[in-house]
Structure 1
Amino acid sequence: MNSNKFSTLIKNLTDVAFPVLGKGIPKSKYVHISLSEFNEALNSIDVSSSNILADFVNTHLKNHNAEVAYGGYLEVRNIYKRSTHFSNQAEEERNIHLGVDLWCSAGTPIFAPFNSVVHSFNNNENFGDYGPTIILKHSISGVDFYTLYGHLSLASIDNLEVGQRFKQADKIAELGDASINGDYPPHLHFQIIKDIQDFKGDYPGVCSKTDLTFYESNCPDPKLILNL
């Protein structure tokens, strides 16, 4: 299936997907946030500090009377410069974000948007990485695809099993905090993946400019499912 047909399929699922943060948070409590390198307000703070970045996010939420700040798809970000996981002399810098981040409180429950099977999971412990991560496989209208959930709590993967089934709207996880989630303010990294390739429990959530064409095709905008 080509990328245009796949994106059309995903777009058609907008109205049937269960909200990954549940129905307890109304859409009126969601607000967009930019972590782009072009956000001058962000460029004036030390984004290498999870505490300072958390203050930035929480102030944005408070100013907009919101509970969830979302955004980030294909956003070029400076926050990854702090970690050699994304930027080292041997490789081209990776700084383009491939998912949507949902910034909210640690412990926030995460739900399956569709009927799902656990493809894989892992605690990705590199500094700046996902921390505990779950990848679900979905089969809809004869098409297989995957969704990735990063920055979870350790308890979310403690008793998980590959092949375990979740029904749509089942709770699958909870958000972790900075001590376990790669040293970020609490948030969910949510990503759609067409071809998981050979990855298990992990998949690139940030890419380089050189690789953008492939990843943009393989990872369509998650807002199509999130209905944001």
Structure 2
Amino acid sequence: MTIRRSRRHSMTELWTVLAPILLTDLLNPVLFAFLIYATGSSRPMLNSTLMLLGHTVAYFLAGIVIALGLERIMETLRDPGPLVFGFELLIGAALLWVALKSRGDTGRPEPEEKAEPLGPVKAFGLGMLLNLIGIPFAVPYFAALDQILKADLDATGALTQLAIYNLAYALPFAAIIVIRAVMGKSAKPMLDRINGWVEKAAGFIMTPLLFLLGIALIIDAVYYFATGRILYPL
């Protein structure tokens, strides 16, 4: 059974679901720390911009690859409804697992203080590498892809929503670059304080957000399998 939905207000309803997922996804202290590291390099504006660009490009391309893979599976099985909700159930369970596992875990990789000088090419590559390494653990991103697939959009619409998601993801991190451009080297104490706040927020906020999001996805999937209807229609 293929699920059909009215597209009137579908984008508003889609982003009602995507917004809390994006909020959870944004709590990325690793990217934040490396961007602050880039703003302290010999070419702070160029290097930090290219690092964020590399991360964003890799995130967008990874989303396309993952979505295409799921789409091919759906077309092969010719039954996208159960497959999508089965994927949602797995993502919900993964979110619960990550939430429980992350309690009290504050460890994260940090850029080395005496690392080799950071250049533009290295900054772009490092941004992509940070993303590619983290993709297997980017459970909120998988949840966002699941919601975009469930919206039953055409290829152009799905790519557009994915691009908007990635742009919205990048914008808060771009604030680091703007602060550095406006305040110069004097921005470092402020950025360090913000970085500390992000670390604390990731520790105290991410766990309950992941848990609640996981519960919501599991309820949605179980409701579909039990009734054949959609609990959160888009």
Structures share fold, TM-score greater than 0.5 = no
Higher relative contact order (CA 8 A, sep 6+): 2
TM-score (norm 1): 0.26
**Structure whose residues are more often strand by fraction:** 1
Name which one, 1 or 2, has greater alpha-carbon Rg.
2
